[in-house]
Structure formats: structure tokens, C-alpha cells
Structure 1
Amino acid sequence: MSGPSLLVVVQRYGDVPGGAEAHARSVVQRLSPHFAIEVATTNSTDYLTWKGDLTAGLDRVDGVSVRRFPVERPRAWNFKLYERRAFRSGHTLEDERAFIDAQGPYAPELLDFLFKRGREYDHVLFFTYIYYPTVLGIPLVPERAVLVPTAHEESAIGLAAYQPVFHAPRAIAYNTEEERRMVWRRFRNERVSNEIVGVGIDVPADRNAARFREKHGIAGPYLLYVGRIGVSKGSRELFASYQSWRASDPAHDVSLVLVGDAEISVPRTSGIVHLGRLPEQDKWDALAGCAAFVMPSLLESLSLVTLEAWAAGRPVIVDARSPVLAGMARRAGAGLAYRGRAEFAEICELLLDRPELGDRLGRSGADFVGRTYTWPRVVETYLDLFAEVRARLAA
């Protein structure tokens, strides 16, 4: 189509796991009727290695042109050494820059493209503050850059190298009020034009818990987790809390069903069922039937699958130490937060013994998503942000 042009820059794109990547793809799909849109990304699907497993060059995803630039070197085998140097007391700015290069995805051709052709686009939308393409790409096109930071409290965000990422763009699109407050507190960048945008949730009308149970052999009540299974997602703590609860209270015969790719070993314990990655329909069927959805991660700027659980009318159990998830659960009136294994057990028993409470929390969650995370509102907010970028460029 003709009209304003938009380049979306993201570390991975297409059929890849990852919340930020799914977020980027869904935004591209919704904005494509309004812009002449392209995507600039890498030829990797694995954020742990950045192996170039896709063909570099022009591609198309969902009818949108995608420019895949080669990752010139994989994540450094001694990446943890660079990480320790960057996070230690008394480190230098060079240590921080070496950490960003080593973390990857190291794709200098993508930066060269932004330097030579970035100003041909009316706007450049960057996803995820922490990675090489965003850190080094925003300074090349700051006057037309909009950042979706997907930021949360972690060691990296305290590095000085990230200061320009939050001060240079023309505008910032935050996911939640909690994320914005955290960024303002750390960077004092309130002057940068911003909105809380988030993402919309599409809920299929056909959600069948019985179909999920029959297909995957799930009997009895179950807790559900969907997403990457790894240390950074709080998976080990979830396993320990679940096993401790089940050992102390065998009367509650409840499964813990895991959906997603595992980066760590999953305990071969009675009650823990790992189904791997599932089709979208199976995921929604699983959400429809769960006693509660569990999200143990502390490092979230927004959890799409938590919003999906609420949209499906199910209650959510979150770790109280996560400012974003605990804050959203409180604002939505749709979840319960735990501190430690004892409270995790108490919440699980409460929701299992009082299913009407879970249903009531789930209805509150569905209302919250319906008010806040809808595509018409998200698209309208992006259109307003981009119109402001164009107006300031023309001034």
C-alpha cells in the first residue's frame, strides 16, 4: 500500500518462540493496513546461540516484506565472562559495550542498512531495549525512532550503555504502567513522548477443555504454565513449590501441565506433565480447562499468555516479587500473588476448594483485558504516536 512507511526492527521474526517476538509480529499484522511496512531482523531463530539457521536476504511473513541480515558470529562461548565483567563494580564503558556485542545478535549489516537507508522510512519501530540491533540502531535514526522497550528489573538495565536507548528515541511505547514507572525511576526520561500501548488479545470463540483433556490424556484438575521453561522464567522455583505442596498435601491430586520448549530439565515427578510446544488451538483449549494459570517469572514487562488466561476467564497465580505481574493482578482483581512455597500451596488449595472464586477472578480478568488490551485501542495509540513523529519531523 502507499502511505506512511514503517520499518520494524526486532532481533528475531516469524515462527519463533518468545514473547517480544510474538508481540512484534502481532503488531506488524495489525499495523500493515495503515502503513507501507517492512521488517528488519536477523537470520537466527535461537536467542541462546544466535546461530544463523535461516537464509539471509529478503523473505515474506504474513504478506509483509522481511529483510533478514546475517548474524556474523554466534553468542560468545564465554559470554558469562563478558557478563561478569560488565556487572562487576568498577567496570568500564568498554566492558559494557563488549557485553552487548557478545550477547548479540551481532549483525553489523543490519546497522549498515539503518545507517544508509533508515531515513527513507517515516518511522522506525524498535522492539526490546537490551539487544545489539536496538542499542546501536536507535542512535542512527533517533528522530524517527519509536521504542517498545519490553523492560523489567534486571542487572543489564543498570548499565550506562543503555541510557541513550531510553533518552534518544522520539517516542516510547510501554507495555504497562508498572514498566513505565520503573523506566522513569531509573532514567528520568519523562520528557520523551510516550504512551502505554501494550498489545491486543484475540480470543477464539471455540475453546474446548474436554477436547484438550482427551487429546493429551489429562485427567483431574490441573494448573497450567505456558511459555519458555527456563531459569529466567522461574521454572525451577515453580517445580520446587509444586513438589513441596504435593508432598505435604497428597489429598489434592492436581497436575502441573507445562506447554512450551524446555531449556532446562523438567522433573520426572508424578503430576508434572510436559507437553512441549502446542498449536494455538490446543493452547486455548488448555487455558479453558485449567484450575488456574501459573506465571512464576519475575522478569516481565508484560506477559501475553497471562492476558490470554484472563481473556479465557481463568484466574492467575503470580509471584509477588514481580512488580509488573503482581501489579497487573492487583489492578485487574483477577489473580493471587504468593511469596514462597507456603503461600503458593495456600493459594492452590484455596482455588481448588473454592472453584467459584477462581471463576469470579477469571471474569474480572476477562473484563480487564476487554477494557485495556484490545486491538482497536492499541492500533489507535500507535497511529497517534507515529503521527506525532511525522509532525515533529516536518516542523
Structure 2
Amino acid sequence: DVGHISNAFHFASASETTDTKPEQLFAPFLREVRLFPSDPLSDEVMSTTVERLWKVLMAERRALGRLGAATMPTSCLLGGWYDVEIHDGVTQRWSSEQGEIHVAQDVSALRVSGWHAGSFDMDVQIDDEPPTRVTLRDNFLFELALSLGRSQIVSLRLRTNRGSVQDPRDLGFLLKKLEVLPGRQGVWRTVPLDQGFDTLWRQVDSSAWIDALATVTDQRPEPAEEAFLTVRGPRSSALVEYVRASVGRYDVVLVQGIPFSLTVDVMRAVRDAGVPLVLLPHYHVDDAFYHWRQYYESFAKANAVLSFSNWVSEHFFAKRGINAPVIAGGGIDPSEYLARGTQLERFRDFRGSDRPYFLVLGRKTASKGYRTIIEAHQQLVVSRGGDVDLVLIGPDEDRQPVEGRDVHYYGRLSRELMLGALAGCVGLVTMSTSESFGIVIVEAWMSGRPVIANRRCLSFGELVEDGEDGILVGTTDELIAAMRTLLENPARAGAMGDAGHRKAMEKYTWSAAARRFHDILTEVLDGGAEGARAGALVSA
């Protein structure tokens, strides 16, 4: 009976009850629709459980940071820091009881600026040297001399303040700015707080990063796994009991949706009954949040796990002996795009402008990289004198203000207006750091528009053919250059859009996905796991 799900305290999920009736969800291809009540979870249980999980996660991040420190190409934050927060437009991060920093070999000094309520003591340690205690208070700044010629790990330890029901994190100090001094006579250089070791490791060696995540996950204490299962709802004991009672009537069961506990509960019920199981996880393999042993175990017990990426099937699932045939991560209905002209006119009427614009489409949250796009657009506007807008469409999840010259955020719009926005844009821009597929890219192609996508997102790098149906970028400067290319070369932009349209029609229609899914189910029911395992995404 859940209508909307949102993240809560990083690990948990909060949901709202829907008043939708089963008959309102019915479709011609469905035989039956049922709604089940979700199980309640008190704020106190959620808070205390999340507090324990944060302690585990901070320890794991420190371990991961030290594993990857030697491969870091530049100075950066390692483990022990909470997620990025933005205060008055400034990126900041809270420390846990121990935050760690990788300092590159060309650095002779480190400068830390932050805030802590009142006076506090902090132990500062360089590699395995004896720690030095410093006393700081309120808004503080301290400098630390370092040895040139070798990379070092700096650890900052302090007593944390106990979390609360409103914020269950144990917080140390608020890191406002981090700077390093290259050489002896260099100029202080700011270290980006939103680009830690995890981001850099993905860029340097995605396969090694994923292997490290799997290693840490395999070593995670079982109580932490159970704690995550407790808070990552919604859960429904009534639904699970119904599955146990009725699953024997079915030839095969498809379970969709990770990372949510209900998926694990249902998968366990299906496997206990001995009924063939196909899992559709929408798995973000390069995102640490998706690495839990309960998911690994579910993958291993499924007859088939539907993967959206040949790379992920080869470099993750196959290494764990998991049968993961590849299928398109979404589909399109070509008939939706036949009224493109009408849709475009309605969006223009809604917008009240004919100015050219780049489009950002999807949830407004930090992981989607929309702030990088705004930054690039602002630099482009300055250099060109303000002749192009930036339009953002999608639900507001982070509740952060969207500001900038010629930037327009419209929130959630109707499907018709969204398709009109796609049809009229110079190009779709997506800088998401992790996705299981990239349906917005396919939708842009169906509208005949080119895309600019983050090459550091594994699924985008596999989906987009750089220079043919879109442009792959990795830095803000590359993004600005790509936006300029599409804006100044409309013929080339149109050719990319046409190439994308051909690809979408060939590989990503619902009819093509249905045929591929039918083949996978046939292999499962025939017991031919090897046949399903070997199948790659093929054109219809």
C-alpha cells in the first residue's frame, strides 16, 4: 500500500501510504492485482539501527580508503567522512570519530578549515607516526607540515557527539575547506570535498573498485546485514505470507527492485518453495550502497539475474558464479513519439520562450550530477553572452535551491510536457555517477536529440557511442566543450540524434525487450542456465 518511497538517514527508507485501489492499477496484461499493508517501524528503532549502521559504514570506508590510497592520482579525502552537504552554496562534510586524508607525494603541507561547537581536542597522525594532539575551538584553521617525496595518510581523531532521532550520525567536526601546498614555494590548492577516494578510484580502475567493494561486503558482520534489512523497507509480512501460500501455482516468479528489504524477503520465500526465480535488480554495481551480502546471496540463488550491461555481467556477476543474462534496461513505445510536433508546441507554450536550451531530466539529487551541469552551463553562458538556457525537470529530492543565470527548474511535469522538452532541446545532459541503465538517454534518442553523458558512469559508457550518437565527458571542461559543440554545430547534433534514433528503434523497443525476456524465461524453465548465462544484448 506504498505510494511514494524516499531515502531516510542514508540507509533507511520512508514511505507514504497510497489510497490507490487495486482496480486502478489493473492493466489488460495482468490477471490480478493485490495491495498489502506495510509493516510499521518506529522512529526510535530506525534511529538506533541507523546509528549502528553508520559506525559500520565509517569503518568500512576507512578500510576501503586505505586499500585504494596507493592508486589515488591526487590528494583527496579517504574514509571516515559523511556524505556531502551544501550550506549557503558551499560544499562541506562532517567527520566521524576518525576522518582520513590522502596527501600526494608532491605536497609539503596540509591546511584544514572547519567548525566545532566550543573547544575540543583532536589527535593528528601521519601514517604510523605517533599522533600529535591539538586543541581547537569554534571556527578553526590549522596547518600540518608534511614530508615531500612520498604520499601520506593523515588521520584526524576526536570524540564525537552522539546522534539523535532527528540525525542518528555521531558527528565530529564540520570540514569547510581542505588545502594542500605543492612543493616548498607553491600556491595553496583547494582539494574538492565532493570528490573523494571512491570517485577517483572508479575513474582509475572500475574493476578494482568493484572488487574492493565485494571484499569488504563479504567481511561485513552479520548483525550489520540484519540491521540494514530492518530499516531498508518497506516490508510487508502479509505480502510475504501470501507469496508463501500461493507461489506454488506459478511456473516462474519475477522479483524486481533492489535495494529494498521486501525484495529479499520475497526472494527467500520463493526459493524456499523451490519455484524458479528470475531477479530484476536494477543493480548499480559501482555504487557502494548496493553492496550487501544479502543481495549477493539472492543473486546466487536466483535461476537468472537480469543484467543491463555486458560489462557488469562479465566483471561482477560472472566472477561470483551468478547467471546474469543481459537484457535492455528499459523500453520505449515508438507511438509515444509520433506527436512530437504537438508535444513540442505545448512545452513551448508552458515555458513561454523559444530560446535554445539544454535539458536535464530526472530526480534532482546529488548523485545525478546536476550541480556539475549547472556549473558548466554558467561558464558557457558567461563565455557566450547568455544565449542558451538550462532546463531541469524532475522531482525535487534534495530540496536544495537551484540558482543560476538562465537556469529554469520546473519540478515534476506531465509525460506530454516532458516529451515536448526532449523534442525541443539542443541536447540532453546527464552527469549521473551511477546508473543501472539510462532510459532518459534512449528517450532523447527517440526524440531525435543527441546526448552528453558522464563517461565515468559504467552504464553510460556502454550505452553511448562517443561521437556517433552522443558525447561522453568526464570533467567540467569537457562538458562545456561538448555543450559548445552541440550548440555551434546543429548539423552534427542532428546527425547524432538520428544515429541514436536508429539505435533505439533497433535495440530498445518494448517488443525487442519482450522477445529477449521470453528467450531468457524459456531457458530458465528448460533448465538451461548456461544458455541464459551466455546471452548478450542483441538487436531485434
Coarse TM-score class (shorter-chain normalised): 0.7 to 0.9
Counterpart position of 1:110: 239
Is the contact between residue 311 and residue 369 of structure 1 (CA under 8 Å) also seen in structure 2?
A: yes
Cα separation, 2, equivalents of 1:319 and 1:78: 37
Counterpart position of 2:34: 67
Is the contact between residue 309 and residue 462 of structure 2 (CA under 8 Å) also seen in structure 1?
A: no
- The secondary structure found in structure 1 opposite 2:3 is coil
Q: Which amino acid aligns with 1:44?
A: G
Residue 252 of structure 1, CA deviation: 4.6
Per-residue Cα deviation, 1:169-208 (whole angstroms, up to 9, x for no partner): 111222232442343266342xx26242433211320112
1:300 matched to 2:432:
no
Equivalences for 1:89-104 in 2 at 5 Å? 89=60, 91-104=220-233
- The secondary structure found in structure 2 opposite 1:376 is helix
Is the contact between residue 56 and residue 68 of structure 1 (CA under 8 Å) also seen in structure 2?
A: no
Is the contact between residue 15 and residue 234 of structure 2 (CA under 8 Å) also seen in structure 1?
A: no
- The secondary structure found in structure 2 opposite 1:67 is coil
Give the TM-score of the pair, scaled to structure 2.
Answer: 0.60
Counterpart position of 1:43: 2
Give the one of 328, 344, 348 matched to 2:483. 348
Equivalences for 1:157-176 in 2 at 5 Å? 157-176=290-309
Is the contact between residue 257 and residue 273 of structure 1 (CA under 8 Å) also seen in structure 2?
A: yes
- The secondary structure found in structure 2 opposite 1:333 is coil
Counterpart position of 1:180: 313
Q: Which amino acid aligns with 1:168?
A: K
Answer with 287-296 or 277-286: which moved more: 277-286
- The secondary structure found in structure 2 opposite 1:383 is helix
Give the one of 357, 375, 381 matched to 2:516. 381
Cα separation, 1, equivalents of 2:466 and 2:257: 25
Give the one of 180, 202, 215 matched to 2:333. 202
What runs of 5+ residues in structure 1 fail to find an aligned partner? Answer: 1-41
1:290 matched to 2:425:
yes
Cα separation, 2, equivalents of 1:346 and 1:43: 43
Answer with 238-247 or 107-116: which moved more: 238-247
Counterpart position of 1:12: none
CA distance 1:236–1:112, change in 2 (3 Å): farther
Structure number with greater CO (CA < 8 Å, separation at least 6) is: 1
Is the contact between residue 261 and residue 277 of structure 1 (CA under 8 Å) also seen in structure 2?
A: yes
Counterpart position of 1:257: 391
Residue 151 of structure 1, CA deviation: 0.9
Cα separation, 1, equivalents of 2:33 and 2:47: 29
Give the one of 249, 254, 263 matched to 1:120. 249
- The secondary structure found in structure 2 opposite 1:163 is helix
Is the contact between residue 378 and residue 405 of structure 2 (CA under 8 Å) also seen in structure 1?
A: no
Cα separation, 2, equivalents of 1:373 and 1:391: 26
Is the contact between residue 255 and residue 278 of structure 2 (CA under 8 Å) also seen in structure 1?
A: yes
CA distance 1:82–1:234, change in 2 (3 Å): farther
Is the contact between residue 52 and residue 71 of structure 1 (CA under 8 Å) also seen in structure 2?
A: no
1:246 matched to 2:213:
no
- The secondary structure found in structure 1 opposite 2:487 is helix
- The secondary structure found in structure 1 opposite 2:472 is strand
Counterpart position of 1:17: none
Cα separation, 1, equivalents of 2:289 and 2:320: 13
CA distance 1:259–1:288, change in 2 (3 Å): same
Counterpart position of 2:51: 81
Cα separation, 1, equivalents of 2:524 and 2:268: 16
CA distance 1:122–1:229, change in 2 (3 Å): same
Cα separation, 2, equivalents of 1:330 and 1:151: 22
- The secondary structure found in structure 2 opposite 1:50 is strand
CA distance 1:169–1:210, change in 2 (3 Å): same
Task: Count how many residue pairs are aligned between Structure 1 and Structure 2.
Answer: 349
Is the contact between residue 307 and residue 324 of structure 2 (CA under 8 Å) also seen in structure 1?
A: no
Per-residue Cα deviation, 1:255-280 (whole angstroms, up to 9, x for no partner): 11111111122323221111122221
Cα separation, 2, equivalents of 1:387 and 1:353: 49
Greater per-residue helix proportion: 1
Counterpart position of 1:27: none
CA distance 1:332–1:254, change in 2 (3 Å): closer
Residue 321 of structure 1, CA deviation: 0.9
Per-residue Cα deviation, 1:135-191 (whole angstroms, up to 9, x for no partner): 2221221342111121111113333222112111111222232442343266342xx
- The secondary structure found in structure 1 opposite 2:511 is helix
Is the contact between residue 279 and residue 302 of structure 2 (CA under 8 Å) also seen in structure 1?
A: yes
Residue 328 of structure 1, CA deviation: 1.0
Counterpart position of 1:324: 459
Cα separation, 2, equivalents of 1:66 and 1:333: 43
Counterpart position of 1:132: 261
Percent identity, aligned pairs only? 25
Residue 233 of structure 1, CA deviation: 1.8
Q: Tell me which structure has the larger Cα radius of gyration.
A: 2
Is the contact between residue 57 and residue 69 of structure 1 (CA under 8 Å) also seen in structure 2?
A: no
Cα separation, 2, equivalents of 1:241 and 1:310: 23
Q: Which amino acid aligns with 1:289?
A: G
Q: Which amino acid aligns with 1:343?
A: E
